[in-house]
Amino acid sequence: MDTTLQDPLVGQVLDGRYRVDARIAVGGMATVYRALDTRLDRVLALKVMHPALAADGSFVERFIREAKSVARLAHPNVVQVFDQGTDGSYVYLAMEYVAGCTLRDVLRERGALQPRAALDILEPVLAALGAAHRAGFVHRDMKPENVLIGDDGRVKVADFGLVRSVDTVTNTTGTVLGTVSYLAPEQIEHGTAEPRVDVYACGVVLYEMLTGDRPHDGDSPATVLYKHLHEDVPPPSAAVPGLPYELDELVAAATARTAELRPYDAVAMLALAREARARLDAGQLDAMPPRALAAEHRDISEDRTSVIPRALTTPHPMPAGGEGAGPELHRTSRLESPPPLPPRRGARSRRGPLAIVVAVLLILGVGTGVWYINSGQFTKVPPVLAKTRAQAERQLSHAGLGLGKVKHAYSDTVKRGTVITSDPEPGTRIRDNGVVSITVSDGPETVKVPDLAGYRLDKAQSLLKRDGLEPGMVDRTFSDDVPKGFVVSTDPGGGTKRHAGAAVALTVSKGSPVDVPDVTGESLEDARSDLQDAGLQVQVADQQVNSEFDKGQVAAQTPQGDSQAADGDTVTLTLSKGPEMVEVPDVTGDSVDDAKKALEDKGFKVQEDRGLLGLFGDTVKDQSVQGGRTAPKGSTITIKIR
């Protein structure tokens, strides 16, 4: 089932620029779409925050600030951020679109990876994180879902949506942001954001690549968090016998529960990874691991970035004698540089050519590829143009592909019933279990617009559909000749030829015009009688308003009096609650100008009474309503001037 059909954003254009074409993925904090930048004609990924988070002003402000910071990270292994903006309730990031798959996809399909493949993915990830760490940022949500492997083999780190400055703490809201399976102990306990939390997550990801499963599991997020706090990550060789101890040591160094015992950032971790690779021979690097079935049955909710209540992350006492109760939890010695891996007896002392090339490329910041990870997972779209739908479906099936959406379009050049285009196009590289959508020709076809004048609207719309046309906009006009509800004319007119499926606008009669009487100021009974005598229906609004008219009289009407309506149309009447009573200011003794201003500011009209003695006076001696009393707003107050 194509779930994007139910997504309200698909098909919309955000900020008048980004056309949302398809939903790619849904995470705990945002949804990612494939979109087109209509201004630059460029395909990109659009990450839109979930409405619940977008409603939090402080979160959005932080999101925008941090997005701007990440946009300054220029590294070939970091997904580039192009733009950030808001459109109504939508807060979004426009990012580089990477055609391919995620590391999670690879693990679900293959289970455990060969050590060479695991290191070839880990090293560019560490290079990307190292660039972020040296720029003062921490990712905080490293996991296989955020490692993209392009069709060309490039490895890129995505989703810096939780990025924070080094040495910040995020426990002020009573929650922790992240994914439970990859949270470092200090993140769980204190919300700490410093480079070592990314190192820890990379160690868990490496363990998962080598074994096909995560080191800690449980029946609930709280159980997983507890294990991160109180249990060491086991050596990968315990799950996959035969893995070199150098990889066990690399995982142990990255996932030490005491933060100070880990490499201090991703650059230091990268140095350890290169050293471990250099000590492995080709046979060890290319050893085929057993397929890990656990990855296929895992609860995918554990893979999502979540806002985790602090109560779930609060450490609980371990049972007496339980693992992790020893003093090593409280060690505070800090390693100023990553510890070297111990030399392996009999290990080859020189690096293999591939390891040297990888190391040089990573030092230079050049993205390395793992093209062989995707080998065997792709095929090419077969030539299906000019084939019938059945023939195209058979060819796709023979290529291991499925038939996606089938659209229809008219064509003056392609035979009816045969394929005009396919998406992706023939010859395009595609996953071997992918689907291909096709557009089938309905041939060249034009339809004569029927003459619908004098038909009732519903009948006219039915006749348009019968002839292969679509009923379009309905406009209404007064007519002395055509009864109400019947068609006056069409656009285009009857007899005009149009392509099948074209829309035809309809103009429908409102009947002869009726003069609407002005009933404001009348009682409801009198107003209803006058309007019904004119052939109009009456409706009374639920709300009443203050007005110059007495309570119960008509204060307003829609449509207004002296306008025109159709016979049988409804006039809505709004009744008066009576005038609003306002306290009259005391203006005696004031100048005329000051008195008038004070009264008019309160909503009163002012009349001057100068008499014979006040022709040249400028002082108010008396007022018709004394100050402090109330009078209807809009009424007239007379001031006497002497």
State the pLDDT at residue 77.
93
Residue range 468-482: average pLDDT?
Answer: 90
Q: Per-residue pLDDT tens for 117-167?
A: 999 999 999 999 999 999 888 888 899 999 999 887 899 998 875 555 444
Is 161 in contact with 29 (CB distance < 8 Å)?
Answer: yes
Give the right CATH number for 101-296+351-375 from 1.10.10.10, 2.60.40.10, 1.10.510.10, 3.40.390.10: 1.10.510.10
| CATH class for the region spanning 513-575 | alpha beta
Mean pLDDT of the chain: 82
State the pLDDT at residue 167.
44
Q: How far is 239 from 112, CA to CA, in rounded Å?
A: 10
Residue range 405-418: average pLDDT?
Answer: 84
Is the domain spanning 378-441 CATH 3.10.20.70? The answer is: no
Q: How far is 552 from 574, CA to CA, in rounded Å?
A: 9
Helix H or strand E encompassing 556: strand 554-558
CATH of domain 581-641: 3.30.10.20
Whether the domain at 446-509 and the domain at 513-575 fall into the same CATH topology: yes
Of the two residues 250 and 380, the one the predictor is more confident about is 250
Percent of the chain with pLDDT over 90: 48
Residue range 406-424: average pLDDT?
Answer: 86
Helix H or strand E encompassing 311: helix 310-313
Percent of the chain with pLDDT over 70: 82
- Give the range among 35-39, 356-360, 531-535, 631-635 with minimum mean pLDDT: 356-360
Is the domain spanning 1-97 CATH 3.50.50.60? The answer is: no
The set of residues, in sequence order, having a beta carbon less than 8 Å from that of 229 and lying 6+ positions away, is 185, 188, 189, 257, 315, 324
Q: Per-residue pLDDT tens for 381-393?
A: 999 988 999 999 9
State the pLDDT at residue 18.
95
Crossing angle of the two packed helices 266-278 and 195-211, in degrees rounded to 10: 30
CB count, 10 Å around CB of 628? 9
Residue range 584-589: average pLDDT?
Answer: 94
**Domain edges within the chain:** 1-97, 101-296+351-375, 378-441, 446-509, 513-575, 581-641
Q: Per-residue pLDDT tens for 50-89?
A: 877 877 877 788 777 767 777 888 899 999 889 988 888 8
pLDDT band at 522 (very low <50, low <70, confident <90, very high): very high
State the pLDDT at residue 308.
54
Is 365 in contact with 134 (CB distance < 8 Å)?
Answer: no
pLDDT band at 497 (very low <50, low <70, confident <90, very high): confident
pTM for the structure as a whole: 0.51
Q: How far is 642 from 193, CA to CA, in rounded Å?
A: 79
Is 65 in contact with 342 (CB distance < 8 Å)?
Answer: no
Active site (catalytic) residues: 141
Look at strands 564-566 and 30-37 and give their pairing.
unpaired
Of the two residues 297 and 161, the one the predictor is more confident about is 161
State the pLDDT at residue 566.
86
Q: How far is 310 from 225, CA to CA, in rounded Å?
A: 11
State the pLDDT at residue 639.
92
Is 106 in contact with 340 (CB distance < 8 Å)?
Answer: no
pLDDT band at 188 (very low <50, low <70, confident <90, very high): confident
Q: Per-residue pLDDT tens for 301-346?
A: 455 555 555 544 444 443 333 333 332 323 323 333 344 444 433 3
Of the two residues 315 and 44, the one the predictor is more confident about is 44
Amino acid in the structure at residue 345: R
pLDDT of residue 26 exceeding 90: no
State the pLDDT at residue 375.
55
Is 134 in contact with 267 (CB distance < 8 Å)?
Answer: yes
pLDDT of residue 228 exceeding 70: yes
pLDDT of residue 476 exceeding 70: yes
- What is the maximal distance between C-alpha atoms in the chain? 125
pLDDT of residue 627 exceeding 80: yes
Query: Tokens in use for 386?
Result: 């000019």
Residue range 499-527: average pLDDT?
Answer: 91
Is the domain spanning 446-509 CATH 3.30.10.20? The answer is: yes
What does 222-261 look like in DSSP terms, one character per residue? HHHHHHHHHSPPPPHHHHSTT--HHHHHHHHHHT-SSGGG
State the pLDDT at residue 330.
31
pLDDT of residue 260 exceeding 90: yes
Q: Which of 26, 215, 209, 179 is nearest to 108 (CA)?
A: 209
What does the buried/exposed string (b/e) look like for 541-574 if buried means 16 or more CB atoms within 10 Å of the residue's CB? eeeeebbbbeeebbbbbeeeeeeebbeebebebb
pLDDT band at 642 (very low <50, low <70, confident <90, very high): confident
Residue range 157-180: average pLDDT?
Answer: 56
Query: Tokens in use for 93?
Result: 């990031």
State the pLDDT at residue 89.
84
Look at strands 570-575 and 537-540 and give their pairing.
parallel
State the pLDDT at residue 331.
31
